[in-house]
Amino acid sequence: MAYAFIAPAVARLGLVVFYPTISSLITSLTDAQIIGPRNFIGLGNYAELFRDPRFWNALRNTSLYAVVTAPISVGLALIFALLLNRRLPARGVFRSVIFFPFIVSLGIISIAWAFMLDPQVGILAAWLSEIGLPIGNGVRDPAWAMPAVMVVGIWRNTGFFMVLYLAGLQSIPREINEAAEIDGASGLRRFRNITWPLLANTSLFVIVIAAIFSFQAFDQMYVMTSGGPFFSTETMVMLIYSAGFKDYRLGYASAVSWILVIIVLAFSLIQIGYFRKKAVQY
Amino acid sequence: MRRNIFVLGALAATAALTVSGCSGSGQAPPANGPVTITFWNSYTGPDRPVVEQIVKDFNASQKKVTVEMTIQPFDVYSQKLLPAMSAGKGPTIAALDASQFPQYAKLGVISPIDDFYKSGAIDRSALPQASLDATTLDGKTYGSPMIATNTMLYWNKDLFAAAGITGPPATMEELAVDAVALTKYKEGAETTNVYGIAIPDREAPSSWGVLLWADGGGFVNDARTTSIFNSPQSVAAITKWNDLIQKQHISPVGLNGVQADSLFGAGRAAMLMNGPWASTGYKTAGINFGVAPTPKGSAGQFAAAVSSNMHLAAHATNAERQGAYDFFAFWNSLKVSTYYAVNTGFPPTRTDTPASDLEANPTSQAFQKSGNGRFYLGGLAKYADIDANVIVPTLQRITNGGGDVTQLLNKASEQINAGLAG
C-alpha cells in the first residue's frame, strides 16, 4: 500500500532525476555524438578534458566568477536585509525593487544589460561617459567582460538572498535582542553575538545556493559575450553547452558535467560541515 | 475494495505518466490520399508573414498536399532540429543555412533530391548556381533554394557627404582610405565616436571573409583540405585591416552582427557589409543610405554569400517526398520567388526574373546585381566548431592586440587542419 502511494513520486523522480543522472554518467564513458553508434572509451573523455586548455580556462573562469559573485551577493543581501528589516518609509518598495531582478528571466535581463552597456550606443555607457567614467570597449574588452557579467549576476541574485535573510531575521525572537539592548549591548555587538549566530541556518542555505548559482553561471555569458572575447568569459556550463549542442560531443560534454557535479557537491559538503558547527539555538 | 481500487488507480496513473513520454502520435496517411508534410524553419523576422502567405497559397492552390509549418527562434531551432531528425521525429522539410547542410548530409538525416531536378519540375539552370553548389556534396544535390543573396556595401550618404567623399569605394584601397577619412575618433568618447566601417567578427555574414578573399587570402582552400588562414595573403590582409582597426580606429573591436547593425542604424558607422534584410531597419531609423557592390581587391571582387535552402528528411515516405517536391517547385516558381523578393528585399531565387518585376522594391533590385558570392567555410562539416572555436576567437585576440598576427594565425591554422582531418 505504502509503495503505491509513493509510486507516482518515485516514477517522476526516476524519470527526470535518476535516469538522466545515471544516463549522463554512462554517456561520459563513451564517445557518443548526437547520432551514430556510441563506443565505450572508459575514462577517455576525462583524460582528454584534463589535457584540454579550454577546460582549465573554463574552470578558472567559473572559479573566479564564484569566488567574486557568491560572497558579494550574499554580503549585499545581508546588508539590505538588515536595513530593510527596520521600520523605514517605503520599505516594501525598496524590498520589491531589490527582489525584482530575480523574478525576471536572466536571459531577458542580460539582453537589457548588453544594450545598456554597449560601448557605442548603450545608455549606461553614455551616462558613465558624461560623468567622466568611460567604459572603453565595455564587455567587448577582455579585461572588462568578466566584471560586467559578474555585476549582472550579483544584481540579479542579491534580491533573492535578501528575502531569505529577511525571513531568517524575522524568525529571531525579538525579546532576545530587547534583553541585550537593555543590558547595554551595542548594535554591532548584538549583530555579532545574537543575529549572526542565529542566522547560521539561513546562511548555510544562502551560501550553498549562492555557490551553486555561481557554478551554474551561463545565461549572461551566453547573451552578453558568447563566452568571449576569446573564451575570457567561458564558464564550465558554457563549455558543456558548446561541446554538447554546438560540437555535438555528448560524451565529452557529459564528462565536463560530471566534473562540475563533483565540484559543486564537494563545495556544498564543506559548507554544510562548517556551518553545522556554527549553528546556534537559544 | 475501495482501497484496492484507489491503489490500482494510483498505479495506473503512474504507468500512464511513465508511458506518456514515450508514445508517438504519428498516423500513417492513407495510400494515394492527400498527404500532410511538415516544414520547420526559423523565419521569425519581418519576412515571417511572407513565408506564411506562401505556404497558405500553396495549400490553397491544390488538394494533394498540405504543408504544416512550424517557425521557431533560430537558437531553439538549431538545437532541436538535428536531434529530432536523427530520431526520425523531425520535419519532412527543414530549412537549413548552407553552412549547416554538410553536417546533416554526412549524418544521413537529409536525402539527396537529384530526382527532383531530373523530373523537370523546375529549370535547374534558372536557380542560383551558388545555392546549388552549396547544397551539393559528393556529386549529389540535397537542397532546393529558399533564399539566396550576397552581401553588399551599405554606405551612409550623409556621413560621406560630410567627409567630402562623393561615392562608395570601388576598391579595397579606396575602402581603407575612405574608412580612415570617415572616422571621427576620440579616446574615451566611444559613445559619440563615428567609425568609418563596422566590421563584425561573429553572428553576421563574414566581413572578414570579404576583406581576405579580395586580396587572395581566406580560411580554407577550395578543396576544403587545408587551412589558408596563415597564407602570406591572409597574414598581409589581416595585418593591414587590424592596423587600421587598432591604430586608426576605423571600426570598434569585437562587434557581433546586431551591434554592427545598431551602429550603422544609429548613424555612427559610415559603412557596413550586410544583406538585404537590414535595409528595412535602416530606413526606419532614418538613415540616408545607398548600397554598392563590395569593393574589389588585388584578387578580385567577392561578397559573402548567404543561402538558406529547403531539405528533405531522409525518413520521408514516397508520398511525402512527392509532396515536398511540389512545394519546392511552387516556392521556386517565377511568381512566388518574385512575390518573396518584392516583399522582403531579397533578390529572387529565380535568376531569370526580369529586373522590371522588382521595381516595387529597389533593395531587391539592387541585391539582384550583387555578385561573386563565396560561402564562408562553405561545405565544412565542422563549420560551427571551426567558426566558434578557432576563427572568431583568433580574430578577437588579434584585434585586441593579444599577440603576434603570424603566430596566432599559424596556431589557428593548426587547429583548422586538425578539424578538417577529423
Residues B252 and B396 in one domain: yes
Rounded to whole angstroms, how far apart are CA atoms B295 and B310?
31
Chain B residue nearest residue A229, CA to CA:
B396
For chains A and B, count residue pairs whose Cβ atoms are closer than 8 Å. 110
- Check B397 against A125: CB less than 8 A apart: no
- Judging by beta carbons within 10 Å of its beta carbon (0-12, 13-18, 19+), is residue B72 exposed, middle or buried? middle
Mean pLDDT of the region A180-188: 88
Residues B178 and B264 in one domain: yes
Q: Are A232 and A145 in contact (CB under 8 A)?
A: yes
- Check B388 against A242: CB less than 8 A apart: yes
Tell me, what DSSP letter sits at residue B348? P
Mean pLDDT of the region A113-130: 88
Contacts of B198 in chain A (CB under 8 A): none
How many Cα atoms sit within 13 Å of A241 on the Cβ side? 18
B387-397, pLDDT tens digit by residue? 989 999 999 99
Residue A28 lies in a domain: no
Q: What does each of the 422 residues of chain B score in pLDDT, given as a tens digit? A: 444 444 344 434 433 333 333 333 344 444 567 899 999 999 887 788 999 999 999 999 999 999 999 999 887 888 889 889 988 889 999 999 888 888 899 889 999 999 999 998 888 899 988 888 888 888 899 999 999 999 999 999 999 999 999 999 999 999 999 999 999 999 888 888 999 999 999 989 999 999 999 999 999 998 889 999 999 999 999 999 999 999 999 999 999 998 999 999 999 999 999 999 888 889 889 999 999 999 999 999 999 999 999 999 999 999 999 999 999 999 999 999 999 999 999 999 998 999 899 999 989 999 988 878 888 887 787 888 899 899 999 999 999 999 999 999 999 999 999 989 87
CA B420 to the chain's CA centroid: 21
- Check B392 against A228: CB less than 8 A apart: yes
- Check B191 against A122: CB less than 8 A apart: yes
Q: Are B261 and B289 in contact (CB under 8 A)?
A: no
Contacts of A120 in chain B (CB under 8 A): 190-191, 193, 195, 252, 259, 262-263, 266, 268
For chain A, percent helix, then strand, then coil, each to nearest 5?
75, 0, 25
Does residue A161 surpass a pLDDT of 60?
yes
B2-39, pLDDT tens digit by residue? 444 443 444 344 333 333 333 333 444 445 678 999 99
Whole-complex ipTM = 0.81
User: Nearest-CA neighbor of B219 among B403, B373, B409?
Assistant: B409
Residues B56 and B114 in one domain: yes
Residue A2 lies in a domain: no
- Check A126 against B191: CB less than 8 A apart: yes
Backbone angles phi, psi at A203, to 5 degrees: -60, -40
Residues B126 and B67 in one domain: yes
C-alpha distance from B262 to closest chain A C-alpha (Å):
8
**Domain housing B48:** 35-149+306-374
Contacts of A232 in chain B (CB under 8 A): none
**Domain housing A212:** 48-278
Share the mean pLDDT of chain B.
89
CA B294 to the chain's CA centroid: 17
User: Nearest-CA neighbor of A236 among A44, A60, A71?
Assistant: A60
Say yes or no: B388 contacts chain A, CB-CB below 8 A.
yes
Give how many domains chain A has, as a whole number. Answer: 1
Residue A212 lies in a domain: yes
pLDDT of residue A281: 63
Rounded to whole angstroms, how far apart are CA atoms B197 and B178?
9
- Judging by beta carbons within 10 Å of its beta carbon (0-12, 13-18, 19+), is residue B255 exposed, middle or buried? buried
Run of H or E including A114: helix A106-116
C-alpha distance from A176 to closest chain B C-alpha (Å):
49
Contacts of A5 in chain B (CB under 8 A): 10
CATH number at residue B254: 3.40.190.10
Q: Which of residues 107-146 of B touch A (CB under 8 A)?
A: 107, 109
Contacts of B388 in chain A (CB under 8 A): 242, 246
Backbone angles phi, psi at B192, to 5 degrees: -125, -10
- Check A120 against B11: CB less than 8 A apart: no
CATH number at residue A255: 1.10.3720.10
The partner residue sitting opposite A4, judged by closest CB among B7, B17, B397, is B7
Residues B394 and B356 in one domain: no
The partner residue sitting opposite B396, judged by closest CB among A35, A129, A230, is A230
Contacts of A34 in chain B (CB under 8 A): 82-83, 86, 107
Q: Are A260 and A236 in contact (CB under 8 A)?
A: yes
Residue A19 lies in a domain: no
C-alpha distance from A272 to closest chain B C-alpha (Å):
35
C-alpha distance from A23 to closest chain B C-alpha (Å):
17
C-alpha distance from A119 to closest chain B C-alpha (Å):
6
Torsion of CA B13, B14, B15, B21, to 10 degrees: 100
Q: Are B390 and B415 in contact (CB under 8 A)?
A: yes
Q: What is residue B346's three-state secondary structure?
A: coil
Residue B287 lies in a domain: yes
Residue A23 lies in a domain: no
User: Nearest-CA neighbor of B203 among B306, B283, B348?
Assistant: B306
Residues B267 and B198 in one domain: yes
Residue B26 lies in a domain: no
Q: Three cell numbers at B94? A: 527543414
C-alpha distance from B204 to closest chain A C-alpha (Å):
14
pLDDT of residue A279: 67
Rounded to whole angstroms, how far apart are CA atoms B213 and B220?
11
Residues B312 and B164 in one domain: no
| Buried-exposed string A204-238: b where 16+ CB fall within 10 A, e elsewhere | bbbbbbbbebbbebbbbbbbbbbbbbbbbbbbbbb
Residues B54 and B116 in one domain: yes
Residue B23 lies in a domain: no
Rounded to whole angstroms, how far apart are CA atoms A129 and B127?
52
Q: Could you give the C-alpha distances from A159 to A105, A162, B409, in angstroms and in order?
A: 14, 5, 46
Residue A40 lies in a domain: no
- Check B190 against A230: CB less than 8 A apart: no
Residues B407 and B340 in one domain: no
Residue B190 lies in a domain: yes
Rounded to whole angstroms, how far apart are CA atoms B62 and B67?
11
Residue A5 lies in a domain: no
Q: At what angle do helices A106-116 and A123-130 cross, to 10 degrees?
A: 40
pLDDT of residue B24: 37
Give how many domains chain B has, as a whole number. Answer: 2
Q: Of B359, B374, B389, which marks where a domain is finished?
A: B374
Tell me, what DSSP letter sits at residue B220? B
Does residue A4 surpass a pLDDT of 60?
yes
Residue A3 lies in a domain: no
Q: Are B374 and B303 in contact (CB under 8 A)?
A: yes
